[in-house]
Structure 1
């Protein structure tokens, strides 16, 4: 197969995904392919002198410049960059001008974005930015933790998987008794990406609800509650956790549920434990088939057995992640 004529077909054949070193080898193969016609014509031209004569002629002429990666056409480079990951693209952009120009090609970065990236821009960044940013800048912006809905939510793109992740602050949830400081209050902390958590001192009826609508790309997602038993703080520069108010969670399990607008339902239950450490409690999974522009989701966490009180709990946020990131997330 001719590299110069069909670089996309060669590189994208089934099962082909060359690593960084393999990419460089491919570039050199493409470079020699592009220059091969001129090289071979020296020895195959029927009108040329004898082989010896042509060799003598070459020795008396200035030596030809050796081919380099800088001789590759920018368009060919861009076709190959399309199949590399963003980190490799940024490294190769430092090689020369052709690679730097190819690294800004819109189709290269569009291949790294979710199919519905325009809906994500409108929901997270605002519709006015859609036509002002190139695809590389859109990718860069979406990979940040972008706050929206008055700062109660943050969304970002996972660089490895192109999956969309979402976090909802405790202030974006409906918490029973949150307005009564005898039960709940918000405390500042550096241990939350929202810089504050809701702290429960004591209550009989424990219930937290939430709902939102978001343009998730097609895939399977998991929903978690990020909780901690005990109130974290610092003393003499060291982290400590006050567990004075922790009680009642070992008597009955906490119930978690999620519902989607297309009729999906999932539930789970577990006892809260491990004081002094942030834990992710899995509420359930849901599937987005891509047929709808947005998914409406409702979720809840409750322990409403009023035969006993419970307290000493920090509620940070609700997290929604692609299921394929779940294993790594559990070590978060």
Structure 2
């Protein structure tokens, strides 16, 4: 019956409680390596033994993407360290624990002059990315009769492009990036009506909203390796930031750069349209986003 008890007898005959901290650190590390990063992060809070085991490099080496050296270069882009070259950067990474490298990649890392940001998604191991409206090619963007950039706290970039009125709407962008293997979804983050605040309460101005119920907006996506997708959607639900699904693309096992082009078009010149906010483009592992999605 003693085998079923929750205590064991010590070498001196006294009853000693057996806790999780008494397990060998190597055994704990082998268990942790089989878990997803969010589960590892929860378990290392149990005690010091779990914390030490959870810092083992071999655990986090398996969690890091194979191209993490490239990702760190992007993370350091614009900083003095980026000038050292990839070899020096990777060599310097050798002085860091792999869990620290992983943690750095999971934060939001800006590049391309602050107009783009990426982060490692913990549950899938894929990359999420946002591309600011300032990094997009927008017809008429420099003419204030058509477009304005509006400062806001509702965008991670602190600004969005606001359309007053235009006949020909064309928003295009592209990204060259080494994504880890997987299937990725691409979205435009849009808002009908100009967001505002009055007496501390959020509101939105509807005066310029027009033309979106007459013809759908056309979305396009293509990659350099021949993947192509098209979709159409009527813009709806004013006052809410919504994600319009453009399409998906597949990244095969490779450290090569993936080249993606995408666009938003409404070029029917029989009517004007206006009152649209273009915040950003979002790329993330397929199936991750569940809220405020519009699909064709």
Measured at CA, do residues 305 and 68 of structure 1 come closer, stay the same or move farther in structure 2, by a change above 3 Å? Answer: closer
Structure with the largest fraction of helix? 1
Aligned partners of 1:122 and 1:130 also within 8 Å: no
Aligned residues between the structures: 279
- For the aligned residues, what is the CA RMSD? 2.6
Cα separation, 2, equivalents of 1:94 and 1:310: 54
> 1:285-318: CA deviations, max 9, x gaps?
1111123511001111111111211111000000
SS for the counterpart of 1:83 is coil
Measured at CA, do residues 189 and 136 of structure 1 come closer, stay the same or move farther in structure 2, by a change above 3 Å? Answer: same
> 1:38-76: CA deviations, max 9, x gaps?
99xxxxxxxxxxxxxxxxxx9xx6437554433332222
> 1:96-123: CA deviations, max 9, x gaps?
4332211110111223222332222222
Aligned partners of 2:191 and 2:240 also within 8 Å: yes
Cα separation, 1, equivalents of 2:292 and 2:197: 26
Deviation, structure 1 residue 239: 0.6
Alignment partner, residue 108 of structure 1: 59
After superposition, residues 174-213 of structure 1 pair within 5 angstroms as 174-213=137-176
Deviation, structure 1 residue 320: 0.7
Q: Which runs of 5+ in 1 are unaligned?
A: 1-27, 40-57
SS for the counterpart of 2:287 is helix
Measured at CA, do residues 176 and 92 of structure 1 come closer, stay the same or move farther in structure 2, by a change above 3 Å? Answer: same
Q: Which runs of 5+ in 2 are unaligned?
A: 78-85
Deviation, structure 1 residue 325: 1.1
Residue 265 of structure 2 is aligned to residue 314 of structure 1 = no
Q: Of 106, 115, 123, which residue of structure 2 is paired with 1:160? A: 123
SS for the counterpart of 1:142 is helix
After superposition, residues 118-267 of structure 1 pair within 5 angstroms as 118-126=69-77, 127=86, 128=89, 130-267=93-230
Relative contact order, CA 8 A, sep 6+: which one is greater? Answer: 2
Deviation, structure 1 residue 243: 0.8
Residue 25 of structure 2 is aligned to residue 74 of structure 1 = yes
TM-score normalised by structure 2 residue count: 0.86
Greater Rg, structure 1 or structure 2? Answer: 1
Deviation, structure 1 residue 160: 1.9
SS for the counterpart of 1:325 is coil
Aligned partners of 1:153 and 1:169 also within 8 Å: yes
TM-score normalised by structure 1 residue count: 0.77
Alignment partner, residue 52 of structure 1: none
Aligned partners of 1:143 and 1:159 also within 8 Å: yes
Q: Of 34, 54, 68, which residue of structure 2 is paired with 1:83? A: 34
SS for the counterpart of 1:324 is coil
Deviation, structure 1 residue 329: 6.8
Q: Of 280, 302, 305, which residue of structure 1 is paired with 2:243? A: 280
Cα separation, 1, equivalents of 2:217 and 2:20: 61
Cα separation, 1, equivalents of 2:97 and 2:199: 48
Which deviates further from its counterpart, 317-326 or 256-265?
A: 317-326
